[in-house]
Amino acid sequence: MTRETSLPPDTSVFDCALIIGCGLIGGSIGHGLIRHRVSSQVVGYDANTAHAHIALQRGLIEATVTSLDTALANADLIVLAVPVGRTEQLVVELGRSARPEAVIVDTGSVKQAFTQQCAQLLPANLKSRVVPCHPIAGHVQAGPEHADAGLMEGRPMIMTPEQEVDTEVLRRVARMWRKIGFNTLTMSAQEHDAMYADLSHMPHVLAFTLMHHIHDRGMCPDTLNAFAGNAFRDMTHHAGRNSRMWRDIFYANRAEISRSLADFRRSLVEIENLINSEDQERLEQMLAQLQQARMSTW
């Protein structure tokens, strides 16, 4: 179950925040840390140096670093904001070079895989300093060009701490997220991955599958452009960007996504059976119920 994290008032800040991965999410968080003065210094490292430079030019970080080991040894806050398929190697590097008193968070869209990597690869003293997190914020565009602290205003930040996390580290992380605009919530990594398989990952599979289906039907971009209505455009919107990020998410959460797709297939068959039945009133009732559920949510 999720619950609001209650926090005692505190104004503590970090000395040196290191953002690893200065793209949409890392850049937005760096921007938020600078804007709300949550860290005296915010530095950024990115495997793609062009991204780090764009982040610097846009004021999302205050300096770029080229040596990850040195940057890890200097940082008291470390934010991982890379595709979920890239965290494993970075966890190894954290174990080698992070300061024992550093606070470590990630931002990946899948939580159990990262939690397992930390359990297996970090030394005991650092395991209690990690808070796995997932911002429910962002948009389809990737990269630092689209990053902005405003993306996080009023959005949920889900934290999935393990039992062994240091309570003060958890409090500090929650305070930091709230200072830059997030509402913090906690749940287990398992609950998170099941919930977001249903709410985000499986629906993204459907968006990509719609494009796959229409491609298989032989419809080329010109045909879609000329004939597709807004509904098709809306429903495939999220197949339009960052396929690398989605590849990693689908693979990392494949067990829950498969479970979610199996549930979805059952719903699809139920609706298909109603469409094919003579009982059009039952179909209308079902559609009206679903319309009502949608309207009472947004």
Q: Which is nearer to ligand NAD, 82 or 149 (CB)?
A: 82
Decide the pairing of beta strands 183-186 and 3-4: antiparallel
Q: Please check whether residue 109 is in contact with residue 200, taking contact to mean a CB–CB distance below 8 angstroms.
A: yes
Q: Which is nearer to ligand NAD, 242 or 260 (CB)?
A: 242
Instruction: Name the closest residue to ligand NAD (Cβ).
Output: 23
Q: Which of 229, 233, 226 is nearest to 210 (CA)?
A: 233
Q: What residues line the site for ligand NAD (CB under 6 A)?
A: 20-26, 45-48, 51, 81-84, 86, 90, 107-109, 134-135, 138-139, 142-143, 242, 245, 249
| Tokens matching residue 115 | 């939690």
Decide the pairing of beta strands 39-45 and 14-20: parallel
| Tokens matching residue 270 | 């139920």
Cα of 168 vs its chain's centroid, Å: 24
Q: Which is nearer to ligand NAD, 55 or 169 (CB)?
A: 55
Residue 41 to residue 30: CA distance in whole angstroms: 10
User: CB of 137: closest distance to ligand NAD in angstroms?
Assistant: 6
User: CB of 256: closest distance to ligand NAD in angstroms?
Assistant: 15
User: CB of 148: closest distance to ligand NAD in angstroms?
Assistant: 12
Q: Is 228 exposed, middle or buried (0-12, 13-18, 19+ CB in 10 A)?
A: middle
Q: Please check whether residue 127 is in contact with residue 99, taking contact to mean a CB–CB distance below 8 angstroms.
A: no
User: CB of 83: closest distance to ligand NAD in angstroms?
Assistant: 5
Q: Which is nearer to ligand NAD, 132 or 135 (CB)?
A: 135
Q: Which is nearer to ligand NAD, 26 or 32 (CB)?
A: 26
Phi, psi of 155 (to 5 degrees): -90, 155
Q: List 283's β-bridge partners, or say none.
A: none
| Tokens matching residue 14 | 């970090």
| Tokens matching residue 209 | 């599958």
Q: Which is nearer to ligand NAD, 84 or 165 (CB)?
A: 84
User: CB of 43: closest distance to ligand NAD in angstroms?
Assistant: 13
User: CB of 229: closest distance to ligand NAD in angstroms?
Assistant: 26
User: CB of 285: closest distance to ligand NAD in angstroms?
Assistant: 36
Q: Is 43 helix (H, G, I), strand (E, B) or coil?
A: strand
Q: Which is nearer to ligand NAD, 90 or 131 (CB)?
A: 90
User: CB of 290: closest distance to ligand NAD in angstroms?
Assistant: 26
Q: Which is nearer to ligand NAD, 53 or 179 (CB)?
A: 53
Q: Which of 144, 140, 150, 165 is nearest to 234 (CA)?
A: 140
Any residues with CB less than 8 A from the CB of 51 and at least 6 apart, and which?
A: 22, 23, 143, 144
C-alpha angle 109/212/289, rounded to 5°? Answer: 70
